[in-house]
Structure 1
Amino acid sequence: MKLCFSIDALSPSGAHAWRLQKDQTWRECTYAEPLEDGDACITDKKTAEEWSGRRLTKDMSQVLIPQKKAGTFDFLMRGIFAHAVLHRNSSAPLPDKRQMLECIAVLKPGTPWLVYLNVSGHFAALDTSTVSIISNLDIAVRGEIASSGDYIGARAARDDKMMDELYRQFLGGWLDHLNSSNMNVFVPDAEKLKDEADYVEAIRNWSHE
């Protein structure tokens, strides 16, 4: 599976977008469109994370100039911001429910865990008290932060009804991630879920660039 990130800047309204080029200039684009010759294709996650969330301004010639990385609440303000967009040139894996259960079962209650899918479609968890979620490009799809034994740990993993629903939520989020190329996608609300078979079919039929 081959992956890389483009850096797409989006206007406040979302009506205009620009993509970083190999020579550090920008071209107008449609947000998250397929890669073209000349587009910067970043394979180093840390480099992409340094770009993600940076504010950009236009100079007198309307050229985009990168500024410092946005703060926690800067996204509440209007402006042009850079986003890391994931591009795949191979089919996407189907997340494994058994692996999700194993991931959740070993988590110790009392810690604010975030269970997520990484870009390879594998379930993982991070301690949100020590690891930042913002601009974390290891996170393709994320659930809710949980610390209670009702939601994480061995007892929660044995709740078949809840785990079935959670798995469908992650399948829905994974499909959204594949279709949008966005990172840090939230799982859909439970009341909006489709049947598991519908998600499985759509993921298997998804076409890469």
Structure 2
Amino acid sequence: MKTVRVIAVVVLLATVMFGQDNFEQKTLFQKGTVLGGYGGPALSIGKLNGKYAVFTGGAGALVLNHRFIIGGAGYGLVNRIDISQEGTPEDSSRYLNMGYGGLELGYIIAPSQLVHIKVSSLFGVGGMGSHGYIDIWDEDYDENDFDVYQDVFFVLQPTVALELNVAKFCRLDVGATYRYTSGFDYKSLKTGDLDGLELKVAVNFGLF
């Protein structure tokens, strides 16, 4: 009986002691977390399959405490890239269609400085396809011959940029990005042909 009383007293004291403790759970969005966001267009120029390529697209993201970036981005090839095998006649040439997008994570170093560094990486998937030479004025034109191949691929694209605070609501990024791809299969392209170093320029608007 005495033992039961002792246990009861210990439990009561423990309940009182821990009950007086202020419980504060740590979360991603703590009290005092500064939340912002931005979005804007982007342009990149580099080489694809040994030829100059131009990609356009854009990105949007949340910004935590002026530094941490969580968002998404997408880009598409806008100029014509010939992926025909050598010796292919012009009227049977094949040209590349390509686009990709995904999750983008990043970090802004010293964001209060006029010019600072921004690093990020895009993790996502893309699609590529080829189409034949098309002349819609040709009597033999057949729209069924347009798309001749399609496939998907995985993409990883890290970026390092210098960022300029143009205004409180506008920033200009100029940097270098490298696209890694894998998972596609096409007879005239091999692993690495869709990879490449590019010059990237972006303008973002929002609350930073």
What TM-score do the two structures reach when normalised by structure 1? 0.20
Q: Which has the larger radius of gyration?
A: 2
What TM-score do the two structures reach when normalised by structure 2? 0.20
Higher strand share: 2
